[in-house]
Amino acid sequence: MLKETEIKKSNRLDFSNGWSYAPAPESTGHINIREKYGHFINGKFVEPTEGEYFDTVNPATEEKLAEVANGSHADVDAAVKAARQAYNKYWSKMSGRDRGRYIYRIARMIQEKARELAVIESMDGGKPIRESRDVDVPLAAGHFFYYAGWADKLNYAFPGREPRSLGVAGQIIPWNFPLLMAAWKIAPALATGNTIVIKPAETTPLTSMKLAEIIQEADLPHGVVNFVNGAGKTGAAIVDHPDVNKIAFTGSTGVGKIIQKAIAGSGKKLTLELGGKAANIIFEDATIDQAVEGIINGIFFNQGHVCCAGSRLFVQENIADEVRDKLIDRMSTLIVGDPLDKNTDVGAINSKEQLETINRYLEYGVQDGAEIYQTKCALPDKGYWCCPTLVGNVSQSHKLVQEEIFGPVLTIQTFRTPAEALEKANNTPYGLSGGVWTDKGSKIFGMTNGIRAGVLWANTFNKFDPTSPFGGYKESGLGREGGLHGLLPYLEL
Q: Which residues are catalytic, by number?
A: 273, 307
Residues 144-163 interacting with ligand ADP (rule: CB under 6 A): none
End-to-end Cα separation, the chain, in angstroms: 54
Q: Which of 25, 51, 232, 380 binds ligand ADP (CB under 6 A)?
A: 232
Q: Which of 236, 263, 319, 412 binds ligand ADP (CB under 6 A)?
A: 236
| 374 CA to centre of own chain | 24
- The CB-of-471 to ligand ADP minimum distance in angstroms stands at 16
Closest CB to ligand ADP among residues 68, 154: 68
SS3 call for 25: strand
Closest CB to ligand ADP among residues 247, 390: 247
Specify the stretch interacting with ligand ADP by CB under 6 A; choose among 79-87, 198-206, 358-366, 427-435. 198-206
Number of residues that bind ligand ADP (CB under 6 A): 17
The H or E element containing residue 248 is strand 246-250
Q: DSSP labels for 184-234?
A: HHHHHHHHTT-EEEEE--TT--HHHHHHHHHHHHTTPPTTSEEE---SHHH
- The CB-of-327 to ligand ADP minimum distance in angstroms stands at 27
- Candidates 95, 106, 79; CA nearest to 171 is 79
- The CB-of-323 to ligand ADP minimum distance in angstroms stands at 30
- The CB-of-175 to ligand ADP minimum distance in angstroms stands at 6
Backbone angles phi, psi at 322, to 5 degrees: -65, -45
Q: Which of 201, 306, 334, 453 binds ligand ADP (CB under 6 A)?
A: 201
231 binds ligand ADP (CB under 6 A): yes
202 binds ligand ADP (CB under 6 A): yes
3-state helix, strand, coil in the chain (%, to 5): 40, 20, 40
Cβ-Cβ contacts under 8 Å for 5 (sequence gap 6 or more): none
174 binds ligand ADP (CB under 6 A): yes
235 binds ligand ADP (CB under 6 A): yes
186 binds ligand ADP (CB under 6 A): no
Partners of 373 in beta bridges: 8, 390
d(CA 257, CA 279): 23
Specify the stretch interacting with ligand ADP by CB under 6 A; choose among 205-213, 253-261, 319-327, 391-399. 253-261
Backbone angles phi, psi at 174, to 5 degrees: -95, -175
Interacting residue ranges for ligand ADP, rule: CB under 6 A: 172-175, 199, 201-202, 231-232, 235-236, 239, 251-252, 255, 258-259
